[in-house]
Amino acid sequence: MAELRIPIIVENKGKKAFKETDKAITGLTKNFKKLAGAAGIGLSTAAVINFGKKAAAAFIADEKAARQLAIAVKNLGIAFETPRIESFISDLSMATGVADDQLRPAMQKLLTTTGSVTKAQELLSQAIDISAGSGVAFETVAQDLASAYVGQTRGIRKYNLGITQAELKTMKFADIQERLNKQFSGANAEYLTTYAGKLQLISTAAGEASEKIGKSLVESLVSVFAAGDTTRFVEQIDELATKIANVVNSVVFGFKKLYILTSDRAILASFNPFDDYEKNALAAIEAAEKAAKFRLGAPSMGYQGSRPIGIYATPAQQAAAKKLEADAARRARELASSQAKQLAEQKKKLALEKASKTLELDRINLTAALKGKISETDRISLQLQLALLDKNDSLATKLSAELEAATKRQQTLNAALLATPEAPNPYRNWVPPALQSMYDSQQYFGPQGGLGAGVVAGVNPPVNVQVVIDGKEVASAVTDVQVNQSLSGTFSDVNRVAARGSVGIR
Amino acid sequence: MPTELKGATNLRKALKKFSPDLDKETRDEMVGFLKPLVKKARGFLPSNAEAPSGFVKHEVKTAKFPMYDATEARRGIGYKLTPTKPNRQGWSSTVSIHNKTAAGAIVETAGRKSGITGKFTPRFQGQLIGSGKMSGRAMFRAYKEDEGKARVGVIRALEKAAAKFNGKAA
């Protein structure tokens, strides 16, 4: 089920033109049938009508595109350039095999972007080559070029020009154009030498005929009628179309004359010598036919004999066109200058980014914490960090260079240290002097700590001390006490080592 | 019924190109009228508990009939301020409200043709408000109950924008 929608504001668009065409075609069908009936001709008109419908629809679409372009040109203030632009598009279409209904919107885009007819024509021609060379759709190429002209280069990436996105962003349009030209120049001409190219060329000229005309038919037509020359064949189709158009014109007006002559009114008038109905009606039809033929064959711009045909620019318009070109050139210069400014800004940004990348803040903090002081590179890194925080790009660039140099120096020093051979022991040949006996000299003796003069800790001979308790040596006094206690039964486990309550004397 | 406003699409295009601020202002004004309508319409959709249980989204192997999920259906109701593709008669909606999901559309329209009969339609609690192709339970009901206030608001917003834009251009 289709989605439910409540339209609040509506508008009717686009249908009217087709409706009118249908009405006109239906009317034509009726008239045609009536005429055929009147003439007693049993024509099958279905094919003719179908062709007429298709041709009318195509004409409406084509006219719409042409009118849009004409409005764009008019709004730029160069309406008098319209025939020249149309002629350029027509020639380009014939030469390159790109249909004019593709060329017109592209031309409009480029024209409104650049503001210059010359530049737009140049870019349009280049777009055809790029499209043929890269395989990207022609409309996309034209849009990409128009965007790139005003500095949006994202679309150019797809053409693989061998440059990075960063480089592309900083490139001027002229450089991009040159690069594209170098890569794709002549691609369309080369493409047209292929079978597909030839077929496209013919199909552009003959419209939808190419779908019906198969490979063998195309080749045979080209070889039979134009000795293999596709361009000549295209010209012949064009001539043929003009001739057919003239014939159709004559036939339609012929039928109209026949219709008038066989009408009741004309038959009645033929009996009245004073009634000039037939004469007047035929004269009106002939005048209309003449006018139609003139419109059909009239050149949009050029010369008929010595008489100029078409809209030519007045001096004022020429001056306006000149001014427009100058304005466009100035705008291009301004764009280039703005791009240069952007480029400088981007360079600064890149420099800052690069500088910020060289910082190793964690390492600096760790090293500073471990050593308690900072090395040269750390010092520069910290200074650089400060410069970055201050947005001082010139100082940051300078410090970044210094940091790089210091890092290099550090690396060189490290490498040199690693490469240094092991140093020999400087005391390898030193023999310690033989010490004299401590008692030999008085210089080894002297007051030290709490010991008396002449006593040196750990060096002097042992000293015997005797402890006396109640006139007995301490050992004898203890033994006596133990023996007495043992004998009195109070201390039975004399000399039992490691037993509870025992006393060990050692 | 919708209102035909000739040149509305071109006006929006012109505003967008030459006066983005005015375009935004107009858009905001229109949104101010449409948002409450959409909110109201969403409120008329049943919750999962209120919808017929077999219709509510559940695990099945071969699902042909759309299944209802209240959140999804509510999200499907919205407004559009850009022109739709013209239909075969050449009509295009410049401003519209829509109920996009299939399940939401079923809730909206069940019973339009056959009436409130059978085993499915009577189980929807909401009333079918409106007549013919302009009847429904959620979006159409909200639009009907709004009594054209949103429509008038949108038209006035566009007219005001056109007057302002023309004044600026002159």
Per-residue pLDDT, A84: 80
Helix axes B20-43, B8-18, angle to 10 degrees: 130
Q: How many helices (H) and strands (E) does chain A have?
A: 20, 5
Q: How far is CA A462 from CA A6, A403, A445, A448, A477, in A?
A: 121, 69, 16, 17, 25
Evaluate if residue A299 carries a pLDDT over 70: no
CB contact under 8 A, B90 and A5: no
pLDDT band of residue B168 (cuts 50, 70, 90) is low
Full DSSP string of A449-469: TTBPTT--TTTSPP-----EE
Residue among B6, B34, B99 minimizing CB distance to A4: B99
Task: Kindly state the tokens that stand for A16.
Answer: 């009217």
> Quick one: closest CA in B to A4, which residue?
B99
CA distance A22 to chain B (A): 14
CB contact under 8 A, B2 and A7: yes
Give the integer Cα–Cα distance in Å for A298 and B108: 61
Helix axes A46-75, A82-96, angle to 10 degrees: 130
Task: Kindly state the tokens that stand for B109.
Answer: 């329209």
pLDDT band of residue A48 (cuts 50, 70, 90) is low
Residue among A9, A11, A16 minimizing CB distance to B154: A9
CA distance A12 to chain B (A): 4
Query: What rounded mean pLDDT belongs to chain A?
Result: 73
Per-residue pLDDT, A437: 54
Cα A211–Cα A215–Cα A221 angle in degrees, nearest 5? 95
Per-residue pLDDT, B29: 94
Ranges A85-89, A309-313, B138-142: which has the least confidence: A309-313
A8 touches chain B (CB under 8 A): yes
B143 touches chain A (CB under 8 A): yes
Mean pLDDT of B137-165: 91
pLDDT tens track for A382-403: 778 777 777 788 888 888 898 8
A6 touches chain B (CB under 8 A): yes
Ranges A152-156, A189-193, B12-16, B47-51: which has the least confidence: A189-193
Does residue B146 contact residue B156 with C-beta atoms inside 8 Å?
no
A4 chain-B contacts, CB cut-off 8 A: 98-100, 104-105, 108-109, 136, 139-140
A80 versus B120: the higher-pLDDT residue is: B120
A4 touches chain B (CB under 8 A): yes
A75 touches chain B (CB under 8 A): no
B98 chain-A contacts, CB cut-off 8 A: 3-6
A15 chain-B contacts, CB cut-off 8 A: 86, 89-90
pLDDT band of residue A469 (cuts 50, 70, 90) is confident
pLDDT tens track for A56-101: 566 667 777 777 888 887 787 777 778 888 888 878 887 777 877 7
A481 versus B29: the higher-pLDDT residue is: B29
A13 versus A369: the higher-pLDDT residue is: A13
Which of A1, A3, A5, A10 to mutate: most B Cβ within 10 Å?
Answer: A10
Which of A6, A12, A15 to mutate: most B Cβ within 10 Å?
Answer: A6
Mean pLDDT of B47-67: 85
A6 chain-B contacts, CB cut-off 8 A: 2, 96-98, 134, 139-140, 143
Whole-structure pTM over 0.80, yes or no?
no
Does residue A69 contact residue A120 with C-beta atoms inside 8 Å?
no
A305 versus A3: the higher-pLDDT residue is: A3
Helix axes A195-206, A215-226, angle to 10 degrees: 80
Q: End-to-end distance of chain A based on CA atoms, in angstroms?
A: 115
Helix (H) or strand (E) holding A326: helix A315-358
Query: What rounded mean pLDDT belongs to chain B?
Result: 89
CB contact under 8 A, B89 and A16: no
